[in-house]
Amino acid sequence: MTGGLLGAMRAVFLRELLVFWRRSTEVMAALVFFVIVTTLFPLAIGPERRELMLVAPGVLWVAALLATTLSLNHLFASDYQDGSLEQLLMSPYPLSAMVLAKIAAHWVLTGLPLALLSPLLAVQMALPTKAIGTLVGSLLLGTPTLTLIGAIPAALTLGVRGGGVLVSLLVLPLYTPVLIFGAEAVAASAGQGFASVAHLSLLGAFLALALSFAPWASSAALRVSLD
Amino acid sequence: MKLVHKYAAPKRFYELAGTLTPWFATLTTLLFVSGLYLGLYWAPPDYQQGNAYRIMFIHVPNAWMSMMAYMIMALFAAAGYIWNIRLADILAKVTAPLGASFTLTALVTGSLWGKPMWGTYWVWDARLTSELVLFFLYVGYMALQASIDDARRAAHASAILAIVGVVNIPIIHYSVYWWHTLHQPASLTLTSQPKIYITMLIPLIVMSIGFMFFYLTMLCVRARNEILWRERRADWVRKLVESRP
Amino acid sequence: MTLPAFLQMGRFAVFIWAAYGFAGLMVFLNVVQPLIQKRRLWERLRRNQDDDEEDMYEETE
């Protein structure tokens, strides 16, 4: 039966990848948003490298967080409209596992490219080279947590008026711990070099917590929304 | 469980809350009046902060109540979600605006206390920062409640949000405290006096119990409104309305 | 203590009275808002028992 479950999860995962890939403009939108927002900061602050370096960890992390939030609207919305979400509810496998597969696919197409693209923007923001590894690592650990937590409000606001803005309102306060430790990890490694291990392991702990809690909560949320 | 269902019937609670409200209201008034007397007049000025510390008597009770109200709200919401108790849904819903107002009061009085102590109205003090995040959580909860028309779905959706919030609050709280100590190791935080005197403690306790009863009073009043509205097509409400023209 | 001295509260009068004033205002609003809501609710219940409007605040705002 476990093989069946994993098989079903893989099927959902691959289907999601394909569907998201077909709507690649939406996937790209989050990425482009990330790039544009980080580009705006030097224009607002000034090209002084020392000043940019000071704010770089925070700017990069806030931009990544906002880009993730922006992409949350596409997580369930189209499946909700075309009815395939209700089919998912009917499936014999636990809904939380299916939701986890969906979230994983979503992250592969939004969070992962975002983390891979970040070194380029780090250079733009005058982040020291030694901190770039930590930046990518913290984003690789942090963005899945953001997507996992964000799936809950995304599921809660399905078909609700003003859904898009509401999702950001609901999700941003919940993001504060990830933001604090993510940006702090980058700042720490830009300063002394190795102090970031503790922050990264805390980000890992958040990810583990979110993995155990969020799929269950968002499937409960989906059941409420589709009731 | 049978007893719970007996009193959880909205009609029964409507009557019970009706009899309790005047008692709660009287108690609240007495506690507020004596708390104000004790806090503003009876307690002597602090040798370090002068009279400014008197803001504590409203800041701290409101900060406590803001967190307690969130816990209460989440408990009611969870009970309503798990056991389908309509009264619990109602109590969770009407707790939210009260909790948000406690949070707002804690924020404003905290920043008014910060001005004489730190010289600025806003410092990213750990307590103030986590109160701010808590305020956003309340706003989100109320926005979600308001944007869903169906009462049952609104209750269940916001219940999930409240439970997620409760799991997150300790994490947010400790993250903010850790973040604060990292950036301002030696700064003075509100309510971290070296010693709290008995003359400070008494008004503080009186005011805290006062705000607790204020919450209970307003919970009853608001819950009665909500029950009356939701049950407007029920026989007992029709009879009640006819009996009081 | 004389009344002016009491009102002055050392040198922190502005902050203390602003804080207590704000708290008082919030308590006042918290009391008044549900009472207004209650009055309008009763008016509405008396007027029309078979009200189909879904929103309690429809006419109160």
Here the ipTM equals 0.89
B50 and C26: CB-CB below 8 Å?
no
Q: Does B148 touch chain A (CB under 8 A)?
A: yes
Residue of A nearest to B162 (CA): A170
Assess if residue B220 is contained within a domain: yes
Contact yes or no for C12 and B50 at CB 8 A: yes
Q: How many domains does chain B have?
A: 1
Higher-scoring residue by pLDDT: B137, B119: B137
pLDDT at position C50, please?
A: 55
Closest by Cβ to C22, choosing from B105, B149, B238 = B105
C24 falls within a domain: yes
DSSP state at residue B45? P
Q: Is the pLDDT of residue C14 over 70?
A: yes
Contact between C41 and B228 using a beta-carbon 8 Å cutoff: yes
The verdict on residue C13 lying in a domain is no
DSSP state of B44: P
Query: Considering the domain boundaries, does residue C11 fall inside one?
Result: no
Q: Which residues 84-143 of B are in CB contact (within 8 Å) with A?
A: 133, 136-137, 139-140, 143
Residues of B in contact with C30 (CB under 8 A): 97-98, 101, 214, 218
- Examine residue C30 and state whether it is found in any structural domain, yes or no: yes
Give chains near B: 3+ CB pairs under 8 A. A, C
Higher per-residue confidence, B192 vs B200: B200
| DSSP-assigned states of every residue in B63-118 | HHHHHHHHHHHHHHHHHHHHH--HHHHHHHHHHHHHHHHHHHHHHHHHHHHHHHHH
Based on the number of CB atoms within 10 Å of its own CB, is A143 exposed (0-12), middle (13-18) or buried (19 or more)?
Answer: buried
Is the pLDDT score of C55 beyond 80?
A: no
Tell me if C10 and B229 make a contact (CB, 8 A cut-off).
no
Structural domain contains residue C60: no
Residue B1 lies in a domain: no
What 8-state DSSP symbol labels residue B46?
A: B
Give A-chain residues touching B178 at CB under 8 angstroms.
Answer: 180
Domain residue limits at B136: 12-240
* The two structure tokens encoding residue A209: 């917590």
Torsion of CA A102, A105, A109, A115, to 10 degrees: 110
Q: Are A221 and A152 in contact (CB under 8 A)?
A: yes
Q: How many domains does chain C have?
A: 1
CB contacts of A168 in chain B (<8 Å) are: none
The 3-state DSSP composition of chain C as helix, strand, coil percent (nearest 5) reads 65, 0, 35
**Alpha carbon of B105: minimum distance to chain C alpha carbons (Å):** 6
pTM score? 0.89
Shortest Cα distance, chain B CAs vs residue A227, angstroms = 8
Question: Given this model, what pLDDT does residue A84 score?
Answer: 82
Q: How far is CA A40 from the centre of its chain?
A: 21
- pLDDT digits 0-9 by tens, B65-95: 999 999 999 999 999 999 988 899 999 999 9
In a domain, C29, yes or no: yes
Pair B18, B224: CB distance under 8 Å = yes
Backbone φ and ψ of B50, nearest 5°: 65, -135
Token pair 């799991």 is found at B167
Name the residue of chain C whose CA is nearest to B113's CA: C15
pLDDT level of residue B41 (50, 70, 90 thresholds): confident
Interface test with C, best of B36, B51, B153 (most C CBs within 10 A): B51
- Among A43, A68, A39, A61, which residue's Cα sits nearest to residue A187? A61
Residue C3 lies in a domain: no
Q: How far is A169 from chain B (nearest CA, A)?
A: 6
pLDDT of residue B232: 86
CB contact B50 to C (< 8 Å): yes
pLDDT beneath 70, residues of chain A: 1-3, 192-194
CB-based contact B87:B6 (threshold 8 Å): no
Is B245 in Cβ contact with C46 (below 8 Å)? yes
Q: Cα-atom radius of gyration of chain A, to the nearest Å? A: 18
- Residue C61 domain-assigned? no
